[in-house]
Structure 1
Amino acid sequence: MCATACVEEVDGSNVTVKERGRRANFKNPGRSTFQKIQVDKCLVKDGKKADWIVRKIGVGSIVVELKGKDLDQACRQLLATVEHPDCQPWLQEQKALLIVCSRYPSVDTTVQKVRLAARKRGMRLSVVCDQGDFIFEDVLKG
């Protein structure tokens, strides 16, 4: 599929991505232009990949995985997406990783390792349960 078929430009007061009962909503009071890039089943057909890339033009990109409870898999999917050549053009210089999951154990070494790996690449990893409303720049800063 053509990469542009996987991209939706939006400028509403809320920029929402959702899948399997999970959602991430980015507040957009200034109605800036965002791009929602559907990675899973569109931009990347095979292999490990996250669900979405949410991009605020000129600001940054957030790779989003909407997951049940398998945080190990979610972390692998996020890192695979950042490295995937078809995703590279959609990732701006400032990047962050976001997992929205059904449960998050208080002690999870995989998440700690991925946080460290992300930091080494200049990114932040955020993990939240159920669903969330976010300020885009706050997620980028970690």
Structure 2
Amino acid sequence: MSTVFDAACLEFNDKRKQIVVQEGRSSIHLSNPSQKTVSLYRVDGCLIKEGRKCDFMLHIDERTACHFIELKGSNIEIAVEQIEATIEHFSKQLIEYQSVSAWIIASKIRTLALRSTKIQKLKKRLKQKKGDLYIKTSGVKEGL
């Protein structure tokens, strides 16, 4: 695997059928039934040590898709800012990807927070990159 990202921050790189990303009490379970090669990098404190950043970055089939993952308590707007900052930080590398998406996994989601202009702005940005923004509660099980 050739990568521009620090191998020391790589959590795994394989074709596992079930991907579990967890930090504290927040987690997301992603199914990978076609067993695509997936690489999970720790962003917070490893790839990016200073400033705002999300927790993890998941790559699908080398450079097909990139998913940013933020595991949060309940402050969705801060999570959006962290993902925005991370996308900005890696903007040059992301040009090579076919799609870029983001997951915010929260222990609690306030409906009013989902109408935020920051969320709408991030959704629009990700749509331009052929991706989407997913905001779910902790423990969610989704497919890639």
TM-score range relative to shorter protein:
0.7 to 0.9
Any unmatched runs of 5+ in structure 2? none
The residue that corresponds to 1:12 in the other structure is: 16
- Structure 1 letter corresponding to 2:142: F
Which amino acid letter does the alignment assign opposite residue 125 of structure 1? L
Q: Which one-letter code corresponds to 2:6 in the other structure?
A: A
SS at match of 2:111: coil
Q: Give 1:83 deviation, angstroms.
A: 0.4
Query: How far apart are 1:11 and its partner, in Å?
Result: 1.3
In structure 2, what is the equivalent of residue 40 of structure 1? 44
Partner residue in 2 for 1:51:
55
What amino acid is the match of 1:6?
C
Structural mapping, 1:25-36, within 5 Å: 25-36=29-40
CA offset at residue 5 of structure 1?
1.1
> Structure 1 runs of 4+ off > 6 angstroms?
none
TM-score using structure 1 length:
0.83
Determine if the alignment matches structure 1 residue 63 to structure 2 residue 71. no
Taking only the aligned residue pairs, the percentage that are identical comes to 22
CA distance in 2 between counterparts of 1:31 and 1:47 reads 34
Q: CA deviation at 1:90?
A: 6.2
Gaps of 5+ in 1: 137-142
Q: 5 Å matches for 1:1-142?
A: 3-7=6-10, 8-57=12-61, 58-85=63-90, 88-89=92-93, 92-108=97-113, 111-121=116-126, 122=128, 123-136=131-144
* TM-score, with structure 2 as normaliser: 0.82
Structure 2 Cα separation of the partners of residues 74 and 110 of structure 1: 14
Summarize the Cα distance change of 1:59–1:116 in structure 2 as closer, same or farther, 3 Å threshold.
same
SS of the residue 1:26 aligns to: strand
Deviation per CA, 1:45-80, whole angstroms, max 9, x where unpaired?
111000011111153111000000111110100100
Q: CA RMSD in A?
A: 2.1
Cα distance in 2 for partners of 1:111, 1:23 equals 23
